[in-house]
Structure 1
């Protein structure tokens, strides 16, 4: 295979250099903040298999840009900023770094969970399990 102009690892590193990264203990401590919106961008099967952060909303990575855009026919009211703080997460922090950088480029303010959901429970984060996502 030919070498790419920019590797996925480089894209993640570039994104992380310009976005806000939230450490797991800091997000755990902020969970009761009524202005905090935790956005899980993982695949629905990942949420079903591993559980999810209580109160988080699920926004599939493939629809995120459309759901946050008030001019999109797919806009979701939950993404109206109105002083809320949005923190995205995926499993390891790679997809959420790229997604957060993209939203920032759009003018949507968000941060992401640096280590993702992979160490969430180990670090004392609550996990909810349900058949519904």
Structure 2
């Protein structure tokens, strides 16, 4: 029997991770101390593009690409920079940010409203992969 729904898990994640507004996150684009991380699937990026300079790490690979001992590690996720995650609407990024915190990465936040909100807030968008 299911004891927690996906909605419950997202609500718990939002209580434990920093949430930025799209406007706050849009101002961070280009900041050398910040890495924006797009956790959407590749098909989503192809259809809509991504925030300029963002690193693409699909949610399903996040733990492996964040782990410096993994053969799949992405160095952009290390180095002590602030990681700001976003997805399509803000749910997957909340879960992903919580996971990174559980892995010991402290300087992490996610964007409320996700990519759509970032686009509306005027974040620079580039074509997808």
Q: TM-score range by the shorter chain?
A: over 0.9
What's the RMSD between the two structures over aligned residues?
1.2
Query: Who wins on radius of gyration, i.e. which is larger?
Result: 1
Residue 16 of structure 1 pairs with residue 14 of structure 2: yes
CA distance in 2, matches of 1:95, 1:19: 12
The number of aligned residues is 128
CA distance in 2, matches of 1:87, 1:19: 11
Give the structure with the higher percent helix: 2
CA distance in 2, matches of 1:122, 1:75: 32
Per the normalisation by structure 2, the TM-score is 0.93
Listed as ranges, the matches of 1:1-133 within 5 Å are 4-80=2-78, 82-109=79-106, 110-130=108-128, 133=129
Per the normalisation by structure 1, the TM-score is 0.90
Can you list the C-alpha shifts for 1:62-84, whole angstroms capped at 9, x where unaligned?
A: 1110111112222121122x331
| Deviation (angstroms), 1:128 | 1.1
Q: Which runs of 5+ in 2 are unaligned?
A: none
| Deviation (angstroms), 1:105 | 0.6
| Deviation (angstroms), 1:126 | 1.6
| Deviation (angstroms), 1:114 | 1.4
Q: Which runs of 5+ in 1 are unaligned?
A: none
